[in-house]
């Protein structure tokens, strides 16, 4: 998405090139999981350009010799262009187990974004990232465990390894957990942490193989093919964040935006007491919206710390709905905030919550929190100067610093 990620790679020799588990985060300018002559062509085309975010590796001035020095250090690196592309943790009827009629187990879809077939035999899948070698893909079934270039492979997370090489030794939790793919040395290739899932809803990358994730509604999961189902997020996104007001710390707010042409209910119609909620990383904020609330088509809703303080500081749109969470506050240094909706209530009364949008913002001065970057990529001016964090594109990935800018506050507009 334009942000260059840095990491310390565990390097092994692979076909004469440097092969790392993840795709190279530096120098892979065309996104083909290798640093080669095609990337050099992209670099040359951007020479002395001050607007070329990708080739400007040091994020300073124009694309010049200092960027080329960084680029050349990663020449020849290549990795596995494999991603966890889609998961379903509450499969009741979406797709049947081909090895056991009448069974509908959880599943994990892997996608090979490259052009060369990759045999994942000997690699590992886990639902506990601290145990990377939980289940090893069998090494004696290459015809079943090889993913063609641009192809997909479904792993059945049913805990029944006796059924075949594509049946993992663990199950997924519909309440949410983590899934990781690791190479044969135990080095991570990809990992995802997901929240609660509704029945037959999947969680997948969108666009297909990309950095963003969406919940796809029942009946629109795409196991074994490109992601493009109907988004279950109902088009409600976090569009503006005021985490550090200039003069009154209680004037914090978060703006939600309905980007669709239809009103969206913020509660479960079958169980109206189950409403959408706002939470933050450390649990200081856990606010459930009132029942009966909706956001009109293309409209906004504001969640504020304190209504009185908010109105003293800002001039929101006249028609916008405003609700105050009161307990807890947004971190001035940065944290994760997310909006979630209730999933299908279980017979025992348990209600899983499905994360719809999350932003892990920062104040631009905590590079130590970005271990793959030598700097904090978030803008600094929203930290107490009167500016807010404003989302640039509603269609692009929300949890990406490149999709946020510092701007004058416009709550509800």
Dihedral class, residue 72 (left if φ above 0, else alpha if ψ from -120 to 50, else beta): alpha
8: nearest Cα among 30, 24, 29, 27: 24
pLDDT of residue 140: 95
End-to-end CA distance of the chain: 26
pLDDT of residue 22: 67
Report, as an integer, the average pLDDT of 152-179. Answer: 95
Report, as an integer, the average pLDDT of 354-367. Answer: 90
Identity of the highest mean pLDDT range in 15-19, 183-187, 273-277, 364-368: 273-277
409: nearest Cα among 387, 392, 393: 387
Q: What span, in angstroms and rounded, lies between the C-alpha atoms of 201 and 216?
A: 6
CB-count exposure of residue 64 (10 Å: 0-12, 13-18, 19+): middle
Bridge-based pairing of strands 118-119 and 264-265 is unpaired
Residue 106: C-alpha distances to residues 3, 125, 142, 188, 228 (Å): 33, 14, 23, 22, 20
Confidence of residue 232 (pLDDT cuts 50, 70, 90): low
The two tokens of residue 198 are 């509704």
Contact predicate 165/221, CB 8 Å? no
Confidence of residue 11 (pLDDT cuts 50, 70, 90): very low
Q: What span, in angstroms and rounded, lies between the C-alpha atoms of 41 and 60?
A: 20
Q: What span, in angstroms and rounded, lies between the C-alpha atoms of 17 and 157?
A: 34
Please report the domains of the chain, with CATH numbers, ordered by start residue: 12-79 (1.10.1330.10), 83-216 (2.60.40), 236-407 (2.60.40.1260)
Q: Mention every residue, 6+ apart, whose C-beta is less than 8 A from residue 20.
A: 9, 10, 11, 12, 77, 78, 79, 187
Does this model's pTM top 0.85? no
79: nearest Cα among 28, 45, 135: 28
Q: What span, in angstroms and rounded, lies between the C-alpha atoms of 284 and 281?
A: 8
DSSP H/E element including 41: helix 37-45
Contact predicate 295/256, CB 8 Å? yes
Identity of the highest mean pLDDT range in 36-40, 332-336, 369-373: 332-336
Q: Phi/psi at 371 (nearest 5 deg)?
A: -70, -15
Q: Mention every residue, 6+ apart, whose C-beta is less than 8 A from residue 357.
A: 233, 236, 237, 238, 338, 339, 398
Beta pairing partners, 257: 237, 300
The two tokens of residue 223 are 């196991």
pLDDT digits (tens, 9 = 90+) for 196-218: 888 898 999 988 888 778 888 88
Q: What span, in angstroms and rounded, lies between the C-alpha atoms of 378 and 334?
A: 10
Bridge-based pairing of strands 135-136 and 124-126 is antiparallel
DSSP H/E element including 280: strand 277-280
Confidence of residue 80 (pLDDT cuts 50, 70, 90): confident
42 or 344, which is more confident = 42
pLDDT digits (tens, 9 = 90+) for 108-147: 999 998 888 999 999 999 999 999 999 999 999 999 999 9
Q: What span, in angstroms and rounded, lies between the C-alpha atoms of 399 and 413?
A: 21
Q: What span, in angstroms and rounded, lies between the C-alpha atoms of 319 and 335?
A: 30
CB-count exposure of residue 193 (10 Å: 0-12, 13-18, 19+): exposed
pLDDT of residue 233: 56
The beta-strand segments (E) located in 305-409 are: 321-324, 336-342, 353-360, 388-391, 404-407
pLDDT digits (tens, 9 = 90+) for 298-316: 999 999 999 999 999 999 9
Beta pairing partners, 324: 304
């Amino acid at each position: 998405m334009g942000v260059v990620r840095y990491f310390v790679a565990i390097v092994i020799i692979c076909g004469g090139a440097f092969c790392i588990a993840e795709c190279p985060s530096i120098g892979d300018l065309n996104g083909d999981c290798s640093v080669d002559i095609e990337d050099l062509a992209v670099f040359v085309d951007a020479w002395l350009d001050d607007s070329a975010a990708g080739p400007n590796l040091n994020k300073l001035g124009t694309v010049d010799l200092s960027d080329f020095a960084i680029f050349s250090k990663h020449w020849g690196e290549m990795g596995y262009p494999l991603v966890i592309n889609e998961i379903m943790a509450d499969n009741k009827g979406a797709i049947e187990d081909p090895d056991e009629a009448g069974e509908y187990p959880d599943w994990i879809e892997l996608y090979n974004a490259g052009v060369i077939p990759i045999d994942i035999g000997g690699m590992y899948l886990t639902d506990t990232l601290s145990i990377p070698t939980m289940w090893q893909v069998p090494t004696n079934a290459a015809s079943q465990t090889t993913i063609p270039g641009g192809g997909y492979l479904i792993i059945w997370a049913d805990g029944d390894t006796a059924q075949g090489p594509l049946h993992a030794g663990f199950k997924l939790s519909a309440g949410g957990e983590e899934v990781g793919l690791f190479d044969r040395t135990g080095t991570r290739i990809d990992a995802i942490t997901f929240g609660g899932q509704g029945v037959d809803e999947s969680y997948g990358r969108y666009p297909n193989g990309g950095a963003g994730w969406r919940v796809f509604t029942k009946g629109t999961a795409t196991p074994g093919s490109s992601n493009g189902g109907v988004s279950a997020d109902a088009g409600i996104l976090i569009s503006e964040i005021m985490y550090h007001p200039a003069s009154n710390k209680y004037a914090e707010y978060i703006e939600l935006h309905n980007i669709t042409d239809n009103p969206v209910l913020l509660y479960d119609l079958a169980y109206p007491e189950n409403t959408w909620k706002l939470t933050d990383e450390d649990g200081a904020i856990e606010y459930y919206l009132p029942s009966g609330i909706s956001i009109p088509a293309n409209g906004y809703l504001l969640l504020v710390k304190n209504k009185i303080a908010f109105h003293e500081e800002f001039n929101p749109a006249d028609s916008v709905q405003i609700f105050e969470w009161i307990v807890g506050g947004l971190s001035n240094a940065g944290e994760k905030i997310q909006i979630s909706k209730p999933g299908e209530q279980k017979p025992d009364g348990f209600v899983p919550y499905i994360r719809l949008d999350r932003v892990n913002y920062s104040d631009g001065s905590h590079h130590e929190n970005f271990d793959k970057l030598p700097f904090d990529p978030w803008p600094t001016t929203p930290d107490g100067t009167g500016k807010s964090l404003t989302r640039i594109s509603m269609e692009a990935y929300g949890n990406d610093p490149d999709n946020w800018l510092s701007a004058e506050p416009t709550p509800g507009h």
